[in-house]
């Protein structure tokens, strides 16, 4: 096992990103924080490090249990990674999902009155 593992490769290996290039892009956009610092894709990770992934409206937190340099099956991911996201973050996610409005298909564009009602419900405007 290689003791030097890049963060973009690790994120891809534990299936947090579908491709390594998407993990690299997330690092470049400063969506990944390693020990509370934004990282470059080439940053080396160690066992015990914590990192955060910003995916609005929540920030997910993980702790590295073991290093690996090749992609593993979804069943094996808990051996290498532990999620430590606080419950308050999941509450934010639930609240955001509750406020999402789904219009029936074929209903057409909202009228001006419906648009105003939708804008009142949207907490992000």
Task: Round the CA-based radius of gyration of the chain to a whole number and report it.
Answer: 19
pLDDT, tens only, 67-111: 998 999 999 999 999 999 999 998 988 887 776 667 788 888 888
More confident residue, 93 or 9: 9
Identify the structural domains of the chain with CATH numbers, from first to last. Answer: 5-85 (3.10.290.10)
Expressed in angstroms, the distance from the first to the final Cα of the chain is 48
Mean pLDDT of 46-68: 93
Structure token pair of residue 60: 């997910």
Q: How far is it, in rounded angstroms, from Cα 5 to Cα 20?
A: 13
Q: How far is it, in rounded angstroms, from Cα 90 to Cα 95?
A: 9
Residue 43: the pLDDT is 94
């Amino acid at each position: 096992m290689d003791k030097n593992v890049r963060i973009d490769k690790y994120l891809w290996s534990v299936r947090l990103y579908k491709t390594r290039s998407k993990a690299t892009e997330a690092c470049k956009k400063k969506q990944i924080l390693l020990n509370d610092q934004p990282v470059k894709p080439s940053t080396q990770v160690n066992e015990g490090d914590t990192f955060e992934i910003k995916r609005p409206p929540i920030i997910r937190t993980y702790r590295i249990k073991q290093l690996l340099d090749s992609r593993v099956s979804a069943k094996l991911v808990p051996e290498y990674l532990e999620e430590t996201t606080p419950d308050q973050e999941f509450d934010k996610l639930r609240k955001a999902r509750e406020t999402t409005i789904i219009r029936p298909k074929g209903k057409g564009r909202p009228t001006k009155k419906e648009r105003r009602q939708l804008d009142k419900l949207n907490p992000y405007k």
